[in-house]
Amino acid sequence: MGAIDYQSLIPNNVNLKDDRRLQRALERWQPNYLNWWNEMGPDNFQTKDVYLRTAISADRSGWAHFDYVKMPDYRWGIFLAEPEPDRKIHFGDHMGQDAWQTVPGEYRNVLRRIIVTQGDTEPASVEQQRALGNTAPSLYDLRNLFQVNVEEGRHLWAMVYLLHSYFGREGREEAEELLARRSGDVDKPRILDAFNQPCDDWLSFFCFTMFADRDGKYQLAALAESAFDPLARTCKFMLTEEAHHLFVGDTGLERIIRRGAELTLADPNGDARAQGGIDLPTIQRFINYWFSYCLDLFGSEISTNAADYFGNSLKGRFQEKRYSEHTGLGQGKSFEVYKNGAFSNEEVPLRNAMNEVLRDDYIDECGNAVRRWNKAIAKIGADFELKLPHRRFHRHQGLYGDNFFNPEGEPISEAEFEANRDKWLKSDADLAFVRQLMQPCYEPGKMANWIAPPKRGIDGKGQDFEYVRFA
Ligand code: BYC
Ligand code: FE
Ligand code: FE
Per-residue pLDDT of the chain (471 residues; tens, 9 = 90+): 457 888 889 999 999 999 999 999 999 999 999 999 999 999 999 999 999 999 887 776 667 899 999 999 999 999 999 999 999 999 999 999 999 999 999 999 999 999 999 999 999 999 999 999 999 999 999 999 999 999 999 999 999 999 999 999 999 999 999 999 999 999 999 999 999 999 999 999 999 999 999 999 999 999 999 999 999 999 999 999 999 999 999 999 999 999 999 999 999 999 999 999 999 999 999 999 999 999 999 999 999 999 999 999 999 999 999 999 999 999 999 999 999 999 999 999 999 999 999 999 999 999 999 999 999 999 999 999 999 999 999 999 999 999 999 999 999 999 999 999 999 999 999 999 999 999 999 999 999 999 999 999 999 999 899 999 987
Atom of ligand 1 nearest to the CA of 355: 28
- Residue 109 in domain: yes
**Ligand 3 center–CA 156 separation, angstroms:** 11
Ligand 1 site: residues with CB under 6 angstroms? 114, 117-118, 121-122, 125, 152, 192-193, 212-213, 215-216, 219, 296-300, 303, 305-306, 355, 397-398
Test site for ligand 1: of 250, 300, 335, 355, most ligand atoms within 8 A of the Cβ: 300
Specify the CATH number for the domain of residue 429: 1.10.620.20
Three-state DSSP state, 195: helix
| Cα–ligand 2 centroid distance for 242 (angstroms) | 6
6 within domain boundaries: no
DSSP string, 58-88: SSSTT-EEEEEEEGGG----B--PPPPTT-B
Ligand 2 ion: Cβ-proximal residues, 5 Å cutoff: 122, 152, 155
Which residue CA neighbors atom 37 of ligand 1 most closely?
299
Spatial CA neighbour of 93 closest among 260, 248, 316:
316
Q: Which of 110, 112, 121 to mutate to test the pocket of ligand 1 (most atoms within 8 A of CB)?
A: 121
Out of 111, 116, 150, 305, mutate this one to test ligand 1's pocket (max ligand atoms within 8 Å of CB): namely 305
**What per-residue confidence (pLDDT) applies to 55?**
86
Cα–Cα distance for residue pair 268/277, rounded to 1 Å: 14
Centroid of ligand 1 to alpha carbon of 397 (angstroms): 10
- 334 and 345 in contact (C-beta within 8 Å)? yes
Residue nearest to atom 25 of ligand 1 (CA): 299
| 459 Cα–ligand 1 center, Å | 35
Q: What pLDDT is recorded for position 2?
A: 56
Query: Could you tell me the CA-to-CA distances from 366 to 170, 195, 209, 281 in Å, in that order?
Result: 37, 19, 12, 18
CA distances from 258 to 187, 289, 392, 415, 451 (A): 41, 20, 28, 35, 8
Instruction: Ligand 1 pocket test: pick from 40, 109, 115, 118 the residue with the most ligand atoms within 8 Å of its Cβ.
Output: 118
Which of helix, strand or coil describes residue 333? strand
Closest CA to 178 of 213, 146, 153: 153
Residue nearest to atom 53 of ligand 1 (CA): 299
- CA 204 – ligand 3 centroid, Å: 15
Q: What is the pLDDT of residue 1?
A: 47
What is the distance in A from the centroid of ligand 2 to the CA of 16?
22
Q: Residue 248 CA: which ligand is closest?
A: 3
This prediction's pTM: 0.97
Q: Which ligand is nearest to the CA of 126?
A: 1
Which residue type does 192 have? L
| Tally of domains in the chain | 1
pLDDT of residue 59: 74
Residue 3 domain flag: no
Note down the domain range covering 402. Answer: 16-469
* 335 domain-assigned: yes
* Cα–Cα distance measured from residue 439 to residue 201, given in angstroms and rounded to the nearest whole number: 10
Q: What pLDDT does 62 receive?
A: 63
Give pLDDT, residue 142: 98
What is the distance in A from the centroid of ligand 3 to the CA of 151? 7
Burial of 106 (0-12, 13-18, 19+ CB in 10 A): exposed
Cα 297 to middle of ligand 1, angstroms: 5
Taking the centre of ligand 2 as the mean of its atom positions, its distance from the CA of residue 216, in whole angstroms, is 6
Nearest CA to ligand 1 atom 50: 114
Residue nearest to atom 14 of ligand 1 (CA): 192
pLDDT on residue 64: 86
- Determine, yes or no, domain membership for 447: yes
Which atom of ligand 1 is nearest to 114's Cα?
43
Within 13 A of 445's CA, how many CA atoms are on the CB side? 3
Give the closest residue (by CA) to ligand 1 atom 54: 299
For residue 243, tell me if it sits in a domain: yes
Q: Whose CA is nearest to atom 34 of ligand 1?
A: 118
Does residue 157 lie in a domain region? Answer: yes
